[in-house]
Structure 1
Amino acid sequence: QLAAGLGEDVLILTISVDLPPAQKRWCGAAGIDKVVVMSDHREVSFGTNYRVLMPSKRQLARCVFVLDKNDVIRHVQLVPAIGQEPDYDEVLAAVKALL
């Protein structure tokens, strides 16, 4: 819902190590259709390059990166626990500051 209200200048990616079929089922169950979902399952290159890979669990830490139109990282939020949601108000404020 939040993604839909940000306009076409905002692209939201969700990246996980889940396989694409599992991601598709999750998006369908959650009613998510305005987000691009990508899998880092095979190479875990995103997790490695952005230093968010938890190798012992082969999972990515729950985090949010906000990039500007030149792909410069302007905001990072690393969530302390996998089961915890990001602070969406903080993320939205960071995104809106770039619009």
Structure 2
Amino acid sequence: MDVTLKGEKFQTNAQPPQVGDDAPSFTAKNLNEETVSLSDYKGDVLIISTVPDIETSTCSRQTNTFNDKAEDLKNTRIISISTNTIEQQTKWAESKVLSSDILHDSDRSFAKDYGLYIEAIDKMARTVFVINRNGQIVYREVVKEMAEDPNYEEALSAARHEEAELN
């Protein structure tokens, strides 16, 4: 899939999963170096927010926005994933109160399995997935211009809709 970064075109390693697909299984490490997998979120609505580099302003804003919204969602868990090192993510998180999970994809396995890996810059594309409690993708946004923010309200609306289905 083609994406751009400040107008320069890049190609991801594959097509990201589509709405209606089962979310591909994955493992990544959290800030405590514990292995986290998709199955750890089974039964919850899940927002997966991916960012190219948590140390940039857009990625930091995206991670902050979803982290802040996590408190408002009752049956939704939010994870943010980047290819940053644990040291970079830990430094970013130092002054934050985390309501979401921050995962690092050091081996790029998540990025590759989800078709988001951009080898030319060793980053992952900016995306948001909402996964229902059965593990199916119900919302997907691949941000075409990686320097731009995703549509937060559409993703949150999809998560709220799934939460309403739980009641």
Is the shorter-chain TM-score for this pair beyond 0.5, marking a shared fold?
yes
Instruction: Give the greater-gyration-radius structure (CA).
Output: 2
Greater strand share, structure number? 2
1:38 aligns with 2:131: no
Return the match for 2:145 from 63, 81, 86.
Answer: 81
Aligned equivalent of 1:96? 160
1:5 aligns with 2:69: no
* TM-score of the pair, normalised by structure 1: 0.90
Aligned equivalent of 1:25? 91
* Deviation for aligned residue 1:32: 4.7
Q: Percent identity?
A: 25
Deviates more, 1:12-21 or 1:31-40: 31-40
**Equivalent position SS for 2:69:** coil
* Deviation for aligned residue 1:83: 1.8
Aligned residues: 96
Q: Which has the higher contact order (CA 8 A, sep 6+)?
A: 2
Gap change, CA 1:27 and 1:83, over 3 Å in 2: farther
What amino acid is aligned across from residue 2 of structure 1 in structure 2?
K
**Counterparts of 1:11 and 1:75 in 2: how far apart (Å)?**
15
**Counterparts of 2:97 and 2:144 in 1: how far apart (Å)?**
24
Structure 2: runs of 5 or more not aligned = 1-67
* TM-score of the pair, normalised by structure 2: 0.55
Structure 1: runs of 5 or more not aligned = none
CA RMSD of aligned residues (A): 1.2
Aligned equivalent of 2:52? none
**Equivalent position SS for 1:6:** coil
